[in-house]
Structure 1
């Protein structure tokens, strides 16, 4: 439980570090995923697991990387327009497209709680951004849209990992590191195509991007992956909600994000919906 808790807290600082780095969107993703992926490789090398990088694992890593790269492209743009707190909250709405795609394409039955979760999450979304939609600037509306597109890409990324892990029994950390490295290459290519500069201008930017890659991404996700294996399902969902909750709090504390009671009630309602939607009972282990 301690590993999962610490990992969720570390990951919650990701959007803060993106803002502090002050780099172009694709460049930020390139440094984060390439650096984080290399750190994961070192962990795997020390554990003697590099041999698990089979052609099949790399294939699924590439599939997941396409969606992971899309997730970062739109999330970083959402951060620029609406701030780290709301953009992270919107990205966590992935439980809705995740459930819909699973039901339509993988023929998974949607339990009654999932319908309730979707209604709660959508109600929270309306209170967060729908009530004041007409008063938002065009850039802010675009940032909200980018955040919701992020949720769709994040859901597709999670589905690709889920399918690979269940179908081909690949190692989770090996698959995650392959996806991170390939995603980094995709984002680096996009940055070059758009003429974005890879120069890190200040020590502040260097410190932020280093923390983002090695602490928030590599250490944070390693601890979450490790912690999930020992914590019961309901508690996993509850602890992982710390990530969007703390990101929203950091936005208020560090960047002075203005909030009102309606928006805060929407955040609370959305978090309840996300929790219900992401909770799955852990199956009993069999010999």
Structure 2
């Protein structure tokens, strides 16, 4: 199969996509912290995340005025996005309960390995050599953060790490499905319907596993409400950016999330970061910057090639 290079965004708002993506990734770093503070089961915390997010998503989506905006109807891509996201949250929330925040978040964000290969084969987004180098640096940093973590953290670190690794597969599926859905629908509509369809599925998982459904404290309710805000601002920003940036570049930039989560876990839960973790975090950031520079360089080269000859 012959691939084509990453497309160059033509929408004027594309210039905002990268800053929005970076901020969204940082916001998503709050999610594992809030899951720890929610006084519910792991899947139940995901259900409340969706439940609190739905009213905000409905208001934002109803304001859409373009052809792809508004509430509309769910599509097969939105249904698949809901399924992948339910699997993602279910496995990830359990990994957060079993292992350290750093491990759970970093291993989940090995998604770029899967996304880059799948985007190359399925979406024909062929990465440049420099981007592959950036990907390798970022993933190596993520692995260093995981391998250098304190193994005594968490109730069952090995099983939690396995759950986090499996989550990376579901997260990759979510990325690619949303990328396809953005070709025909707005980010708001995709977020609304994937959340609405996913909420009852998460509730069913929580009931089947006999989890505590109701937060037991005011702090627990506040954490669940915070998860709803993170869902709208963080995941919504990622979905919006996916319509304007290559899927592989987006997935690498989201590696900022584990860095933020690890720092917060260090501050709030005394999950001290070791020297390898700190070095790994620096490598992740370096990989993200290199990936962004590679994308900007390619965009400039494409513009120069398209310019008329004197």
State TM-score, norm by structure 2: 0.75
C-alpha contact (below 8 Å) 2:111/2:171 kept by paired residues: yes
Are 2:210 and 1:195 aligned? Answer: yes
C-alpha contact (below 8 Å) 2:186/2:240 kept by paired residues: no
Moved more, 6-15 or 66-75: 6-15
- Name the structure 1 match of 2:282: 268
Separation in 2 of the partners of 1:115 and 1:238?
11
- Name the structure 2 match of 1:153: 170
Deviations 1:81-123 (A, max 9, x none): 2232332222222111001122334444232134323432443
Separation in 1 of the partners of 2:283 and 2:133?
11
How far residue 179 of structure 1 moved from its aligned partner, in angstroms, is 0.9
Separation in 2 of the partners of 1:73 and 1:276?
32
State TM-score, norm by structure 1: 0.81
Are 2:26 and 1:12 aligned? Answer: no
Are 2:240 and 1:253 aligned? Answer: no
Separation in 2 of the partners of 1:146 and 1:60?
25
Other structure's SS at 2:211 match: coil
- Name the structure 2 match of 1:120: 137
Structure with more of its chain in helix, by fraction: 1
C-alpha contact (below 8 Å) 2:99/2:155 kept by paired residues: no
Q: Which runs of 5+ in 2 are unaligned?
A: 1-15, 304-310
Separation in 2 of the partners of 1:103 and 1:191?
36
Shift in alpha-carbon separation, 1:140–1:60, aligned structure 2, 3 A: same
How far residue 220 of structure 1 moved from its aligned partner, in angstroms, is 3.7
How far residue 139 of structure 1 moved from its aligned partner, in angstroms, is 2.0
**What value does the CA root-mean-square deviation take over the aligned residues?**
3.6
Report 1 or 2 for greater relative contact order, CA contacts < 8 Å, sequence distance ≥ 6: 1
Other structure's SS at 1:183 match: helix
- Name the structure 1 match of 2:62: 45
Are 2:176 and 1:162 aligned? Answer: no
How far residue 164 of structure 1 moved from its aligned partner, in angstroms, is 2.1
Instruction: Give the 5 Å matches for 1:181-260.
Output: 181-213=196-228, 215-222=229-236, 242-260=256-274
Separation in 2 of the partners of 1:75 and 1:135?
19
Q: Which runs of 5+ in 1 are unaligned?
A: none
C-alpha contact (below 8 Å) 1:92/1:274 kept by paired residues: no
How far residue 21 of structure 1 moved from its aligned partner, in angstroms, is 0.6
